[in-house]
Amino acid sequence: MTQRTDGRRIVTNMALSLDGHYAAPDNPLDMSWVMPYAVTDVARDHLAGLCATATTALLGRVNAEGFMGFWPGVIGMEGADPRDEGFAKWLVDTDKVVLSSTLDQAPWERTTIANKPSAQVAADLKATEGGDILVLASASVIKALLAADKVDRLALTVFPVLLGGGPRLFDDGLPASKWSLVSQTAGEHGTLALVYDRIR
């Protein structure tokens, strides 16, 4: 495999509330607040655009179990939005790297388990040939990559909900950095999709 160090980008994608949280305070696993907005054209087109340039998915174990437990069933589902089905096919067919200290082997096809720090795994992936490395809503992974200044593209969907508390994506103490807005789309229900590139 040809080695390269400058061609791959670490792209992180996360949904945030208007007050900056990615999960509710009382039940971090309850994502029902996201659902009315995740099915908007803006959110679906946003995700489709990110997948178009990505050849690797990087996930934490909990998110991998959630994603792989749901999305493969969308393929061939009657009435499924073509963009949802397209994402499901991409997720099944693409190479996946799952960060876990508890899994010994992957229960999913095209999946590698990595028991290393997120920043090291990201650096190792960037040194190989391929398209973007897309980190899908795995908050712990994204937070670690932000802390290590390893994120090249930051993709956010902002939903017009105030959660009033809960975990934040951007903790105090992150390295200072500058970003360039490369796309912005607003749509139904006030859904906002933003993509920023790291200025280095």
Q: What is the pLDDT of residue 16?
A: 97
Span 139-155, average pLDDT: 97
- For the chain, the average pLDDT equals 93
Q: What is the pLDDT of residue 3?
A: 36
Least confident of 10-14, 30-34, 142-146: 30-34
Domain spans in the chain, listed from the N-terminal domain onward: 10-199
42 φ, ψ (degrees, to nearest 5)? -60, -50
Calculate the alpha carbon distances from 68 to 78, 137, 162 in Å: 19, 13, 29
Q: Give residue-wise pLDDT tens across range 105-142.
A: 888 999 999 999 999 999 999 999 999 999 999 999 99
18 and 160 in contact (C-beta within 8 Å)?
yes
Question: Could you tell me the pLDDT band of residue 200, with boundaries at 50, 70 and 90?
Answer: very high
Superfamily of domain 10-199: Dihydrofolate Reductase, subunit A (3.40.430.10)
**Residue 1 pLDDT greater than 50, yes or no:** no
- Comparing CA positions, the residue from 46, 50, 9 lying closest to residue 158 is 46
Span 170-175, average pLDDT: 95
Q: Give residue-wise pLDDT tens across range 83-111.
A: 999 999 999 999 999 999 999 888 899 99
